[in-house]
Structure 1
């Protein structure tokens, strides 16, 4: 059970088993003839057919069985139409290239890596994301409106006063936002460091308590970790163990106190401010949510600090996550409207200016959340997103080349089924690209 980090790339197959560094020479790299043969056979593979056994290395086949690959390609086709043709190839080495593949509704960026050793089968296939086929902001807005379930978004310009909403849909409606809630924890850390209460080098000593999945889940008791590292892991890869350590270290009460400061219109809906392990237990332990939800705030805090804290993770049933079934996303989640998230990013922008904000902006910009083509439209990008079955959010803080600031944020909730993350990411990316002045 986990909240999925929203990265610039969506991994659908095993990473490359044999990769070599790109040469430093300026001359264009030519594909080996055997690699060209693999390129020529890529469209049938992405269509769910082709010679699976002859195309992929044994190591790849062990990690990604044919049925798994077919399920993934079917999902991509459902969201983007059939793969039609290769548009371009950017060769990094004779055995490795980034390939732009035209689907019926979008363009995929695909990393393809073949084994330099005969018989030169493919050991790496990575779909890094889709470029939306929409060409204008009105077309993007129409595509958002056509998605099943409930979608809200906001495109805003930031300045010296209140944010100016340029485009929006349901911009004041709260949505489940997944791991985008971690921006509130980051904001409390920024406030505390700006006030001199903390430094980015302060160390947190792990107490050996139970943590959700992540880098620190198996670290021994007594391990010391700087706040900078925890924040970076929490934002860049959405590490849940780092998140819960930071929430505990900074204090739930102080994080909750930040919500009205940030401009979140209904902070009471997010109190008590849940950690990730607490949410997993509430969603995954039989009968617990039914007892938690009817309680008032005081009763919920008592249950969290007592019974919930003592429940071993082994009792969590992760079925809803592994089977991608929405699970109480309208009652057990973190909730913010698109305009709330605009104000959160605006507060972070205002409070990370100058030398004091260098560390926070580094944390926000490690994972830009969008493709290189979109990144090229902007001077600087900060990003956080989140998802679970039925939930997806992407929120971008963007500085234009002329110095102006913008936020592009969107949330998609569907109570009935998992959302198409690739399609939503492509639309948010296109909205960010088209919003650049």
Structure 2
């Protein structure tokens, strides 16, 4: 039985579904991946044989222009190419600037380093509390507008554990952060309210991945096993638009489920494996599995969010009653989103009862099972989309990621391998029943935590 979780009161007061279903909940795309990455727009290569740029080069001029755009002082259309603007509209650019300034303080200036050519280099943005950098590419054609820009690295200035803990505690709602070796006996590198359960959103799909990987390890399934697509949930994910009965491998389903958080792929895997198999995986690592059982499919999640009376009945029932309710719901839906009622999910809705819940220690044990697999396939799937930590591959030979969100809920979880071979978990959760949570702030916290490194002995 899912008990209703008491969330810390807010101190101050997704998925985009087309047609009759419109929702920003359970955002299966990676909020973390877009929170700091401005854009990675294909840019024409710089002309070969360019000489080293001078101080008055187009790169230096565009660096100042980019800073002005992020401050809201310059029209993006004057600075970026039409192709870039088509991919990242002006309003989105301004919003990113606002988010970065909120996270790092005033933008003091911009400079160019690591020049690769007259039109390609590394942009450095100097904020009050951080130094942010990434590759920038200009068009080789005058007026040499910005054709590509990707913010990859964030280096906090004068940061400390105490500052991070204070900033985590100042966020409205309920916030959890945990950075530690996977060895449960090891001392965490950072822990903030790590004993409390977090709403996971799509991070719950790691349980499905682990269940699949262990079924394959036991010889009961194969990664290249082909099944027929007969489930259909709501976005995100493109598989909902594939023909019914389309052949797809278990590897393809798992990759879509984790890398782009495809809901249909997730529900298909649960159907193929059996709900009981995934629930067995939950029980194997979860200290209080009743917080996640019976396991909801993504389609069932949406339907409960659409009917608050049904959601309340579900939350107030014991595990056996919940299982009967879900069985009735499943029989009615028949795995098809067309049989679901309409929903507009644009504010926090039943986030303390209709969700998937786990503590950092639960996820630590789950990632431990994935890290211990002799077959690296599941870990390779997790590494397809490392989110905002892509720029830290020099620090971590392996980075695997899964995140999840709905209005009022955000979870970011990474499996990391340190250079010495030590496996680590970094997980952050933020829930607020009163308002949306800010992905940019939480991803900035993740960057700050990793920048601290190991504690002094």
TM-score if structure 2 supplies the norm length?
A: 0.81
Contact 2:306 2:343 in 1 (8 A): yes
1:277 is aligned, of 299, 310, 313, to 299
Listed one character per residue, the Cα deviations across residues 130-161 of structure 1 (whole Å, up to 9, x for unaligned) are 444453334333332222221122233334x7
| Distance in structure 1 (CA, Å) of the matches to 2:94 and 2:369 | 44
Q: How many angstroms does 1:403 deviate by?
A: 2.1
Map 1:183-222 to 2 at 5 A: 183-207=206-230, 209-222=232-245
Instruction: Give the secondary structure class of the aligned counterpart of 2:447.
Output: helix
Listed one character per residue, the Cα deviations across residues 70-89 of structure 1 (whole Å, up to 9, x for unaligned) are 34433333333222112544
| Segments ≥4 residues shifted beyond 6 Å | none
1:328 is aligned, of 346, 350, 354, to 350
Report whether the alignment pairs 1:312 with 2:335.
no
C-alpha RMSD over aligned residues:
3.2
| 1:94–1:330 distance in 2 versus 1, CA, 3 Å | farther
Partner of residue 30, structure 2: 5
TM-score if structure 1 supplies the norm length?
A: 0.85
Listed one character per residue, the Cα deviations across residues 243-281 of structure 1 (whole Å, up to 9, x for unaligned) are 22222221111101111212x112112122112222223
Partner of residue 99, structure 1: 123
| 1:377–1:59 distance in 2 versus 1, CA, 3 Å | closer
Partner of residue 73, structure 2: 49
Q: How many angstroms does 1:17 deviate by?
A: 5.6
Listed one character per residue, the Cα deviations across residues 103-126 of structure 1 (whole Å, up to 9, x for unaligned) are 223333455443333443334455
Gaps of 5+ in 2: 1-14, 16-25
Query: 414-423 vs 286-295, which deviates more?
Result: 286-295
Listed one character per residue, the Cα deviations across residues 348-394 of structure 1 (whole Å, up to 9, x for unaligned) are 222x13xxx22122112223334355332223232222222222222
Q: How many angstroms does 1:301 deviate by?
A: 1.5
| 1:398–1:73 distance in 2 versus 1, CA, 3 Å | closer
Instruction: Give the secondary structure class of the aligned counterpart of 1:312.
Output: helix
Listed one character per residue, the Cα deviations across residues 393-427 of structure 1 (whole Å, up to 9, x for unaligned) are 22222222222222222212122222221221122
| Distance in structure 2 (CA, Å) of the matches to 1:53 and 1:426 | 27
Partner of residue 417, structure 2: 399
| Distance in structure 2 (CA, Å) of the matches to 1:30 and 1:246 | 54
Report whether the alignment pairs 1:228 with 2:254.
no
Map 1:63-102 to 2 at 5 A: 64-91=88-115, 94-102=118-126
Contact 1:183 1:384 in 2 (8 A): yes
2:363 is aligned, of 333, 341, 351, to 341
Partner of residue 115, structure 1: 139
| Distance in structure 1 (CA, Å) of the matches to 2:311 and 2:332 | 12
Partner of residue 395, structure 2: 377
Map 1:245-264 to 2 at 5 A: 245-262=268-285, 264=286
| 1:106–1:433 distance in 2 versus 1, CA, 3 Å | closer
Q: How many angstroms does 1:335 deviate by?
A: 0.5
Partner of residue 139, structure 1: 163
Q: How many residues align?
A: 425
Report whether the alignment pairs 1:367 with 2:385.
yes
Q: How many angstroms does 1:14 deviate by?
A: 6.0
| 1:73–1:287 distance in 2 versus 1, CA, 3 Å | farther
Query: 13-22 vs 403-412, which deviates more?
Result: 13-22
Instruction: Give the secondary structure class of the aligned counterpart of 1:318.
Output: strand
Contact 1:79 1:420 in 2 (8 A): no
Query: 147-156 vs 207-216, which deviates more?
Result: 207-216
2:439 is aligned, of 404, 421, 430, to 421
Contact 2:348 2:408 in 1 (8 A): yes
Query: 72-81 vs 412-421, which deviates more?
Result: 72-81
Contact 2:300 2:329 in 1 (8 A): yes
Report whether the alignment pairs 1:241 with 2:264.
yes
Gaps of 5+ in 1: none
| Distance in structure 2 (CA, Å) of the matches to 1:28 and 1:118 | 17
Q: How many angstroms does 1:13 deviate by?
A: 5.6
| 1:418–1:362 distance in 2 versus 1, CA, 3 Å | same
